[in-house]
Amino acid sequence: MEYKSTRSKHAPVPSSEAIIRGIAGDGGLYIPCCIPSMSSIIDMLPGLEYKKLAAMILQKFLSDLSTKDIFRCVESAYDDKFDTPEIAPVVEAGGFNFLELYHGPTLAFKDMALSILPYLMKSSAEKQQMKNEIVILTATSGDTGKAALQGFSGVKGTRIIVFYPENGVSRIQKAQMVTQNGDNTFVAGVKGNFDDTQSAVKFLLTDETMGKKLKEHNYIFSSANSINIGRLIPQIVYYFYGYGKLLSKGKIKSGEKINIAVPTGNFGNILAAHYAKSMGLPVNKLICASNENNVLFDFFKLGTYNKNRPLIKTSSPSMDILVSSNLERLIYEVSEQNEELISSMMNNLNSNGVYNITEDMKDRLSGFYGGYAVESEAFKNIGQLYKETGYVMDTHTSVAYTVCKKYKDETGDSTSTLIASTASPFKFTRSVCRALNLPVEGKSDFELINTLSQNTNLPVPEALYDIDKKPIVHKTVIDKENIKSAVSNFLRI
Ligand SMILES: *Cc1c(COP(=O)(O)O)cnc(C)c1O
């Protein structure tokens, strides 16, 4: 299996190189040269434990790592740092099936990939006989940052740098990041939004002068964002796993198609679902759910991607994104691998904030349904679902749930649906408590952890014990123009 860029016909690279680089030298994203079929394992899914399934899928994509290496990575990642032995349980509520992806150490689905990425990166570095220290450069909309810090903190031969939008993450997300220990970590708030932060980071990853300076000091950049295929591939696993759970619970018959709904920001998680479908997972519709930042809804409806609009701060901050990086991989695919066209579209996006796809490309997107939820709908549904079933969703998951309900009403499609449940409600206590009509006045987000727990009988996740009492290690806040110099300072180059 080799990987090539979406923007040029440069020679493909092996997976170990794609993982270490994170992004192609031409600014494009790496995509697998072919998608392996896994349809033969569908019937086996109910009997496969998460680790075994992960190893089987990773092996297909990371073919230059040895089977032994992959097993070691999987064993180290999916252990008891997840608070349930199933790793990704499926829970039914309100007629939908929630694939709970937030049982890892940082309480969001980002743990599913970021608890294995450091191991994949180390194995890849060994494979490439790399002597350089790997510097992970990360922009976060709230959850990637902590999950990446957790994964890379203290890992020899790596450093991890995280930039988050200073006023664009929840109090609890911020506390998780700024209290992170580890000599190899650096965290800074940026006066700007996620899009500003992500574009600065993407630019820096392929900046030639920076690249030279790094090399002189024996460093190399990589990315922990979902632009890195090492993030994306482990995310394919849980869609197969979720399908297996539906089979073993008797909710579907083998081969029966399901819908998958994903609360979407950077388009990474739903792209992994699309890859699962391409590999033979029986999927009818992929339901792409946005919050009020509904660029993707417009895109699926009109075939025009237009980020020229104000970014709206919502109660699902990890989806407050106007430039969904991974969409580039999908439009490359539906352009029938037309690198020139994708390059020109991405240039348009950079300079004018907009691009149009062709009618043919749009026709090939019929497997997707785009929808969005406004704040009042997402809030109302958290309260309503709880009242009806006792199930508590976080704000992001509620966006997907809301869109699923709208989709069902609109189309009458009654296909069994798996909703990617992306974060623990305890990460967004103020919003969730408000939605549940619990008193929030005069209480901090941290105090509301107990309020939420006491009123819903859900246990407080261990990761949040005393989160407000931990010393703040990272106090830096910078202007977005200073991201490059902050990196240089931390690395002393
Ligand atoms: C990152 C994140 C998302 C969006 O996922 P993408 O892969 O960026 O589309 C949704 N919900 C939560 C809780 C997240 O942390």
For residue 95, pLDDT over 90 is answered with: yes
Q: Give residue 136's pLDDT.
A: 95
The closest of 297, 295, 303, 272 to 194, measured between CA atoms, is: 295
Pocket of ligand 1 (CB under 6 A): 108, 110, 143, 226, 263-269, 318-319, 396, 422-423
Determine the atom of ligand 1 nearest the C-alpha atom of 423: 13
Proportion of the chain in helix, strand, coil states, percent, rounded to 5 = 45, 15, 35
pLDDT of 141: 87
**pLDDT tens sequence across 35-73:** 999 999 999 999 999 999 999 999 999 999 999 999 999
Q: How confident is the model at residue 411 (pLDDT cuts 50, 70, 90)?
A: very high
* Residue range 360-381: mean pLDDT, rounded: 98
Exposure letters 404-442 (e unless 16+ CB within 10 A, then b): bbbbbeeeeeebbbbbbbbbbbbbbbbbbbbbbebebee
Index of the ligand 1 atom closest to the CA of residue 268:
7
> CB–CB of 111/147 below 8 Å?
yes
Positive or negative: CA dihedral 241, 99, 267, 210: negative
Residue 427 CA: nearest ligand 1 atom is 13
Residues 140-182: pLDDT tens digits?
Answer: 988 999 999 999 999 999 999 999 999 999 999 999 999 999 9
Determine the Cα–Cα distance for residues 102 and 76; give it in Å rounded to an integer: 18
pLDDT at 224 over 90: yes
**Separation of alpha carbons 431 and 89, rounded Å:** 24
Q: How confident is the model at residue 257 (pLDDT cuts 50, 70, 90)?
A: very high
Phi, psi of 259 (to 5 degrees): -95, 150
Question: For 11-28, what is each residue's pLDDT tens digit?
Answer: 999 999 999 999 999 999
Paired sense of beta strands 304-306 and 354-356, if any: antiparallel
Question: Ligand 1 mean position to 229 CA, how many Å?
Answer: 16
In contact, 392 and 458? CB cutoff 8 Å:
yes
- In this structure, which residue's CA is closest to atom 1 in ligand 1? 318
pTM above 0.85, yes or no: yes
Residue 472 has pLDDT above 90, yes or no: yes
Mean pLDDT, the chain, rounded, equals 96
Quick one: pLDDT band at residue 371, thresholds 50, 70, 90? very high
Smallest CA separation from ligand 1 atom 2, residue: 318
> Residue 310 pairs with which residues in a beta bridge?
none
Question: What is the mean predicted confidence (pLDDT) over 263-287?
Answer: 98
Which whole number is the average pLDDT over 460-487?
A: 94
What's the 344 CA to ligand 1 centre distance in angstroms?
27
pLDDT digits (tens, 9 = 90+) for 323-363: 999 999 999 999 999 999 999 999 999 999 999 999 999 99
How many whole angstroms separate alpha carbon 119 and alpha carbon 233?
A: 14
Q: What is the DSSP letter of 98?
A: E
Q: Point out the least confidently predicted range of 97-101, 202-206, 402-406.
A: 202-206
Atom 14 of ligand 1 has which residue's CA nearest to it? 318
d(CA 337, CA 332): 5
Ligand 1 centroid – CA 319 distance (Å)? 6
Give kind and range of the element (H or E) at residue 420: strand 417-421
Counting DSSP H helices and E strands in the chain, the numbers are 20, 16
Question: CB of 319 within 8 A of CB of 265?
Answer: yes
